[in-house]
Amino acid sequence: MSVIIVLLLPLVAAALVCIPFKKYWASGVTVVSSLATLILAARVAWLVSDGNSVTADLSVGWLKWVAVDGLSALILLLIAFVAATAAIFSVGYMAHGNLQPGKLRLYYINYNLFVFSMLAIPVLAEPTLVWMVVELTTLCSALLVSFENTREALEAAWKYVVLSLMGAGMALFGFLVLFAAMQASGSDDDYTWTNLIAAAPAMPPVLLQTAFLLILIGLGTKVGLVPMHTWLPDAHSQAPSPVCALLSGIETTSILYVILRLFPVMQAAPNSHAETWALVLGLISVGAAAFLLLQVKDYKRMFAFSTVEHMGIILTAVGLGASVAGYGAMQQIVSHCVTKSFCFFAAGTVLLAVETRQIASVRGLILQAPIAGAALVFGGLAIAGAPPMAVFLSEFSILKAGLTQKHYVATGLLAIFIVIAFFGVMLHVNRMVFGAPDSSGDASSPQRKNGSTLQRFNASTLPFSCRLALILAAVPVLVLGFYIPQPLHNLLTQAAAALTR
């Protein structure tokens, strides 16, 4: 039952936010509801990690489409976590812009609906319904991307909507073909993930392959896999920073989760090349993103490209062999979610401090805004995969799995790309944080020549909620680097098991 409550909470919050009330009503409601969601989601994850079923009481009527296993619980937990920290971060971040109360309410309504649509993805077990909520995530977040209403934001939102929905059209056809494949196998069961796996051996391989490719490309557009990634850096950089954290941190991951759901189905079918496809697309994404990272001009875009890289790494990991690298892939999902959301909080803090997105205009941040600078360094190191952090551990375990599987070429390429990406991220972060002030950024921002405007915002004026969100988000980034709690380990193991037949 708690699963249903998890789904209902953001909806209730969205309805409550509609009521015009005091200044902090909308943000307060959102924070409370997302914290409650987090607690409930954690409980669900806990129960699932102990091997209990949380959906036993939901077998009647339309509720039979709700099912939670290890993988779902993991994604659910991550969504709830990022949604909660982002809600806390929003309080200070959005208060900064002196928005109209109506506009702010609109933000929170969309925020809650967006969170709802994402929470529904892992919980639903019916592929076409999952498709529907995936589309809902696009639609709910489109107005968040265009929230700042500038020319760039509108362009980003429009690109985002058009490309994502184009992918969604293909994916819809893919899901319908998958259903046809299931019927062709003679199965009369409901169309759910588990029944799909059961019916897979008897499905016509042509239909299965077609469905897989359509869904991989269609949803891959929304994940940001490389040939289809063009919208991602735009949308993920133009949205307000807390929304970026949601988009980059968990939206991509939760869509990738839908693709991952297909792998056990494909493994059941004779000589499907699902893993090869995943490996190729994943490596292309990692490689392209690594090189693009070297030449970004905008630090939010930098983190967006890093998202493309991480999605590629996860897909590559699955391609290397879900049975061996599955645990690493799941670990990577977790570390990506917590780290990337932190990174965008850091980027948001920097944006509040310096009011520009250009890397070239920001120098010597550590002196002018120590908290923002420190956060950026920490986030940069963490997302690039420096040793004591979560991403390092997960990338290491993926590479190790790749080597034990004797995929030397692919693993070698992956390692090289990761190093290049590391170099790219740290190059920019280093310049921004430690570079000498007023050296090269003058040309594009002459009004900041003497650095006096930079003093306007410093650590003392950074809202408390932003600092709290930074700290909350930093904890798992650091902790998961050297210690994985037992329940989480169980959950990861179960999730990895869900990737194989």
Select the residue interacting with another protein from 4, 8, 32, 176 (CB under 8 A): 176
To another protein, the closest distance from the beta carbon of 408 in angstroms equals 33
Assign 3-class secondary structure to 212-245. Answer: HHHHHHHHHHHHCCHHHCCHHHHHHHHCCHHHHH
Q: How many CB atoms lie within 10 A of CB 231?
A: 24
DSSP state of 355: -
Question: What is the footprint of another protein within residues 259-278 (CB under 8 A)?
Answer: none
Nearest by Cα to 114 from 93, 88, 86, 89: 86
Nearest by Cα to 258 from 200, 219, 309, 218: 219
> What residues have CB less than 8 Å from 405, skipping those under 6 apart?
320, 321, 324, 325
**What are the angstrom distances between the C-alpha of 438 and each of 248, 413, 444?**
31, 38, 11
129 touching another protein, by CB under 8 A: yes
Select the residue interacting with another protein from 57, 59, 101, 297 (CB under 8 A): 297
Residue count, binding to another protein (CB under 8 A) = 66
156 touching another protein, by CB under 8 A: yes
Select the residue interacting with another protein from 4, 11, 42, 166 (CB under 8 A): 166
Select the residue interacting with another protein from 29, 69, 135, 264 (CB under 8 A): 135
Select the residue interacting with another protein from 14, 170, 262, 322 (CB under 8 A): 170
438 touching another protein, by CB under 8 A: no
Question: What is the footprint of another protein within residues 38-67 (CB under 8 A)?
Answer: 62, 65
End-to-end CA distance of the chain: 28
Q: Amino acid identity of 68?
A: V
Nearest CB to another protein, comparing residues 447 and 486: 447
Q: Are 410 and 402 in contact (CB under 8 A)?
A: yes
375 touching another protein, by CB under 8 A: no
Site string for another protein, 212-251 (x = CB under 8 A): ---------------------xx--xx-------------
136 touching another protein, by CB under 8 A: yes
Span interacting with another protein, options 70-78, 168-176, 282-290, 469-477, rule CB under 8 A: 168-176
- How many Cα atoms within 13 Å fall on the side-chain side of residue 188? 0
Nearest CB to another protein, comparing residues 219 and 325: 219
Nearest CB to another protein, comparing residues 183 and 267: 183
Select the residue interacting with another protein from 21, 25, 46, 179 (CB under 8 A): 179
* Alpha helix positions (H), 245-389: 252-260, 262-268, 274-294, 299-319, 322-354, 365-368, 370-384
Three-class SS state of 160: helix
Nearest CB to another protein, comparing residues 240 and 326: 240
**What are the angstrom distances between the C-alpha of 384 and each of 167, 427, 429, 487?**
29, 11, 11, 27
Select the residue interacting with another protein from 21, 46, 47, 97 (CB under 8 A): 97
Q: Which residues pair with 298 in a beta bridge?
A: 358
To another protein, the closest distance from the beta carbon of 151 in angstroms equals 6
Select the residue interacting with another protein from 173, 291, 396, 434 (CB under 8 A): 173
143 touching another protein, by CB under 8 A: yes
**What are the angstrom distances between the C-alpha of 197 and each of 9, 49, 182, 346, 368?**
31, 22, 10, 41, 56
What is the Cα–Cα distance from 39 to 77, expressed in whole angstroms?
A: 9
Select the residue interacting with another protein from 194, 267, 323, 356 (CB under 8 A): 356
Site string for another protein, 300-319 (x = CB under 8 A): -x------------------
Q: Are 84 and 34 in contact (CB under 8 A)?
A: yes
461 touching another protein, by CB under 8 A: no
Residues that bind another protein (CB under 8 A): 62, 65, 96-97, 99, 126, 128-129, 131-132, 135-136, 139, 142-143, 146, 148-152, 154-159, 161-162, 165-166, 169-170, 172-173, 176-177, 179-181, 183-184, 191, 204, 206-207, 210, 233-234, 237-238, 292, 295-298, 301, 351-352, 355-358, 360, 444-445
